[in-house]
Amino acid sequence: MNTSIGIKANTIISASYKTDIPAFYGDWFMSRLEHGYCGMVNAYNRNQATFVSLRPCDVSGIVFWTKNIGPFMKHLDRVRELGFPFVVQHTINGYAQSRFEAVVSSDEAIENLGQIRNEYGPHVVVWRYDPIVITTNTPVEHHEANFAQLAEGLKGVTDEVVISFVQPYKKTQSNMREREAAYGFDWIDNHDFIITFEEHVSKKTGRVMRRRIWQETDESLERKRSLAQRLAVVAKAVDMQLTICSPPQVFFTGLLADPHSLSCPVMAAHCVETQRLNKIIASSEFAHFLPQDRPNLPVKIQGNRDTCECYPSTDIGEYDTCPYGCAYCYAVSHRETAKRFYTEQSSRLSEIPGGQYSSPFLDPRHMERFPEFRDDNNAWVQERFAQIDTKQTSMFQQSEDEDKHPL
C-alpha cells in the first residue's frame, strides 16, 4: 500500500489535546526536542505521516495540555533553555475519582501550578474547568460550590479559566453509560441532546455520507448560560476572566447579546492564543532565553472545528493512548486499550535495534510502514530541513534586497 510523508515547520506545537504528553510521554517529548523533530501518523489516514520540526527556529511556541503537570515539571527549565515559550493548559475539575476520572488530586495540582507561576511568570498557566458534566451526582449546585473552592485556591496563579460542557460524542456516550451503570447516577445532559443525521457528499471520495448532528433543547441551553454567568462572577472575584471553549453560536444568544451590559462578560476561549504567547515572550522570565530567529506567531484564527477560536497549531499526540480513563473523554474509545498501549509501548520501543523511533505512538505495523521514523534512518528528514533552511535564507536575503532597493 502506498504511503506518503510530509514535513511541517513554522508552527505552534500542541502537546496534546489527544493525549496527556506531560503526564505520560514527557521523557519522549524532551528527547524529541533534543533531536529537533518528531513523527506523527494521520489519525484519519494511517498511510500518511508527517515529520514535525521541533527546532527553536521553526517553533513559535508550545501549548501543553494536561491533568497532571507534576511528572513534567522537572523538564520545564530545559524547555525554556532550549528557546521555547510555552503555555500550560491544566485541567482541574475536582471530580470524584471513581465516577469520571482517575487523576492527581486538586490540591496537588494547584500546588504544582503555583510553583510554575512563581518560576515562569503570571501568563504561563491557564486553568481549565472542563468539561462540565451535569449528573444527579454533580448537579448545577455542585459545580457552583466546587468551582468557587478551586478558584479560591488558584487565586493569583492564573488570569483565565476556560470552561466547556460535555458533548455527546460516541466515545463519550459509551463510556458514560458504563459509569452510570457502575455507580448509579444519571447523566442529565444526555437527555437534553436531540441527535439527527444529515447526508452530505464527501469532497474526497464523492460518496454520499451521513453526518451525525446534535442539538440541545432550549431548557438545556438556558441552564448552561445561567451557570456560565454565575461562574463568571466567581471568577472575576479572584481576578480571572472566564472563557468558553468552542461554544456553538446559539449558546451566546441572550448571554452575550450585549456583553458590555454584563458586569462579568463571558467570552469565547482562544486555547491556542498568540496574545498570551506574546506576553510570555516579552516577559523577563523568558526574554533572554529565546532565539533571535524565532518564527513569527500566526495572526489569523484557524480553529479545528467550526466553533473553535484557536490560532493554527500542529498537534503531535495520538488518540487512544491516554490511560486516565476519563468517562467524558472524546479521545479514548476504551480505557483498557489505552492502558495496555501505554504499558506496552516502553518495552516495545526499547526492543528496537539501532535507535529510538521519532513517535511513541507507533504500533508494529507503522514501524514497518514508516522506516524513516527510526532515528538511525532519518536522512530524509534532515535533507528536508536543509531545504527549508535554504528557502528561508533565500527569502530573508530577498527581503533585505527589497529594503535596500525600494520600487
Q: For residue 405, name the pLDDT band (cuts at 50, 70, 90).
A: very low
Most confident of 31-40, 62-71, 161-170, 173-182: 62-71
Q: For residue 355, name the pLDDT band (cuts at 50, 70, 90).
A: very low
Per-residue pLDDT, averaged over 243-271, amounts to 72
Per-residue pLDDT, averaged over 237-255, amounts to 82
pTM, two decimal places? 0.88
Cell numbers standing for residue 303 = 480553529
> To the nearest whole percent, how much of the chain has pLDDT over 90?
44
Angle CA 289–318–125, to nearest 5: 40
Assess whether pLDDT exceeds 90 at residue 16: yes
At residue 402, the pLDDT reads 39
Kindly tell me the sign of the dihedral angle through the C-alpha atoms of 234, 109, 34, 313.
negative
Q: What is the mean pLDDT of the chain?
A: 84
Cell numbers standing for residue 295 = 518564527
Per-residue pLDDT, averaged over 232-261, amounts to 78
At residue 367, the pLDDT reads 67
Q: Please tell me which residue, 98 or 212, carries the higher pLDDT value.
A: 212
pLDDT digit string (tens) for 68-90? 999 999 999 999 999 999 999 99
pLDDT digit string (tens) for 363-392? 666 667 777 777 766 777 778 778 877 765
Place of cell 482562544: 270
Q: How many Å separate Cα 130 from the centre of its chain?
A: 12
Reference 9, options 81, 59, 49; nearest CA is 59
Cell numbers standing for residue 348 = 516495545
Assess whether pLDDT exceeds 90 at residue 257: no
Q: Please tell me which residue, 353 or 103, carries the higher pLDDT value.
A: 103
At residue 124, the pLDDT reads 98
Assess whether pLDDT exceeds 50 at residue 281: yes
- CA torsion 43→45→48→49, rounded to 10°? 10
Angle CA 300–302–305, to nearest 5: 155
Classify residue 100 by its DSSP letter: T
pLDDT digit string (tens) for 315-352? 999 998 999 988 888 888 888 888 888 887 766 655 54
Place of cell 517553533: 59
At residue 237, the pLDDT reads 96
Assess whether pLDDT exceeds 70 at residue 98: no
At residue 356, the pLDDT reads 67
pLDDT digit string (tens) for 186-206? 888 777 777 777 777 776 677
Reference 118, options 73, 162, 78, 161; nearest CA is 73
Buried b (16+ CB within 10 A) or exposed e, 385-402: beebeeebeeeeeeeeee
Most confident of 235-244, 284-293, 378-387: 235-244
Per-residue pLDDT, averaged over 30-36, amounts to 91
Per-residue pLDDT, averaged over 1-23, amounts to 88
Give the number of other Cβ atoms within 10 Å of residue 355's Cβ: 12
Reference 316, options 6, 4, 18, 7; nearest CA is 18
Q: What are 194's strand-pairing partners?
A: 215
pLDDT digit string (tens) for 115-173? 999 999 999 999 999 999 999 999 999 999 999 999 999 999 999 999 999 887 888 88
Assess whether pLDDT exceeds 60 at residue 290: yes
Hey, where are the domains in the chain? 4-397
> To the nearest whole percent, how much of the chain has pLDDT over 70?
85
Backbone torsion region of residue 353, taken as left when φ is above 0, otherwise alpha when ψ lies between -120 and 50, otherwise beta: beta
Q: For residue 312, name the pLDDT band (cuts at 50, 70, 90).
A: very high
